[in-house]
Every structure is written in C-alpha cells, then in structure tokens.
Amino acid sequence: MPGPALLVIAHGSRDPRHAATVHALVRRVRAMRPGVRVETGFLDFNIPSVPGVLKSLAAEGVRDVVALPLLLTRAFHAKADIPAVLREAPQVLRVRQAEVLGPSPLLTDALERRLYEAGLAPGDKASTGVVLASAGSTDPEAIAVIAAVAREWRRTGWCAVRPAFASASLPRTEDAVRELRESGCERVAVAPYVLAPGFLPDRIARGAAGADVLADVLGPAPEVARLLLARYDEARTPALAALGASA
C-alpha cells in the first residue's frame, strides 16, 4: 500500500524567486523518495493554493495526506493559518499536520554548507563570528527557538553566533554584524536562516553589507530535503501503527 501523499505548504510571495526555490526543493524531495507523491501548495500569492491541491487530491482518490509546513519555527502560520486551512479539507481526506522543520541538526548542517559555499572553510570556524539571521516573529516561542539554535551552533566551534531578525524583533542583522566585529572576531559571516528568497531575506542581505561573507538562503539544500522526509515519516508513523492494529 502506498504511503500518504506529502503536501508541502509554503507561505508564498510576490517575489518569483520564492516559488522557484520551493519547487526546486520539492523536486529534490521527489528524487530522494520516488515512491511518495509530493505536491506543493501555497498559503498566499502563488498557485496552486492549499485548498486547491487538497480538492484535487480528493478528486483523484487520494485518502491520506501528510501536510508539512515549510516553516522553520512554530509561529502564527503553523499554529493558526495552516490548521485553519486544513480543517476545510474535503471530508474524504485524512490529513495529518507534520511538525515544522526546526530546530534540527540538519538545518545547522545546511547553514554550514551555505557558509562554505560562500567562501569559508571548516578551519575558519574558530576565528569567525556568525550572524544567524532569521525573518523574525512576534511569537515569543519562535524567538526563543532562534536564540537556542544560535547557542547550540556556537558550541560546534564558531568564535561566536548571534541571532538577528529582519522584522518584528531585535537586533537587526547590521547591528549583530557590528557587535561581532567589535567583539574581536577575525571575520564575520551572515547565515540567513530562511528557506527561500523574498522581501525579508533581501533585508537580511542589505544588513550584511558590513560582513565578510554572506551565505545563500537554505533553499533546496540536500539536508533540508532530508529533513522534510524525516518530518513526513514522523507524521505518518502513527497512522501506519493504527492501520496495523486494525488489521
């Protein structure tokens, strides 16, 4: 019996780079797990919409869906927007919402991949301060998670790791860059803790003007694709256990 379909739910953006990056990530996920049907739905700005994909899946006879928020923290979209949309799914569908992607060691692995692609080497860690630059949130839980990720990542050997935010919270990227420079780090790098390009990632990039290195967004990094599949497997396991118990 095939497993549940995987519906990757992205926020959406007027910036065409956003959807292109999401689709590139989903293509990598499909290639890694060819036996799983993987679809993409957007909450806003882009098509197909999440309700549209759910209706199409139901019409095609799909009955089990794992809905995976393409989010790094459990902020408003994961707690309110996405559950509200999923509650409106066709009744023939059994929809299980997976956990958000972060925090995860795979994400810090992806961050380091992007930093090394931008010019750093593993031997630079001890002399490099890193700004962990996220989009920002008004949700205290999300902000606390970013701070915890920075603390844990610092323990892997970086000179320092400071969180920064493009909106809603402080400090801004440029302030964290300046603080690291003043603290004595030999070089300063900015690692965007975001999945796809757009308005806020562009703000992060502008704030990184005083840094030595600016990494790319996480995008379709292989570690991110592996993490999507791990969250999918975690969400589908209870359903499989229930099927086994009823057999």
Tokens of 19: 């959807």
pLDDT for residue 245 is more than 50: no
What integer pLDDT is reported at residue 237 of this predicted model? 82
How far out from the chain centre does Cα 65 lie?
20
Q: State yes or no: pLDDT of 184 exceeds 80.
A: yes
The mean per-residue pLDDT over the stretch 199-215 comes to 98
Residue-wise DSSP of 87-137 = HTS-TT-EEEEPPPS-S-HHHHHHHHHHHHHTT--GGGGGGEEEEEEE---
Return all residues near 49 (Cβ < 8 A) that are at least 6 apart.
41, 42, 43
Question: CA torsion angle for 99, 204, 45, 23 (degrees, to 10)?
Answer: -60
Question: Considering only CA atoms, which of 35, 58, 134, 98 is closest in space to residue 228?
Answer: 98
What are the angstrom distances between the C-alpha of 24 and each of 30, 98, 125, 218?
10, 20, 29, 12
Query: Tokens standing for 101?
Result: 């992607």
CB-based contact 11:42 (threshold 8 Å): yes
Bridge partners (DSSP) listed for residue 191: 132
pLDDT digits (tens, 9 = 90+) for 66-100: 999 999 999 878 898 999 999 999 999 999 999 99
Q: Do residues 75 and 139 lie in contact, with contact meaning Cβ atoms separated by under 8 Å?
A: yes
pLDDT per residue as tens digits for the range 147-177: 999 999 999 999 999 999 999 999 999 999 9
Amino acid, single-letter form, for residue 54? L
What pTM, to 2 d.p., does this model score?
0.94
Residue 239 has pLDDT above 70, yes or no: no
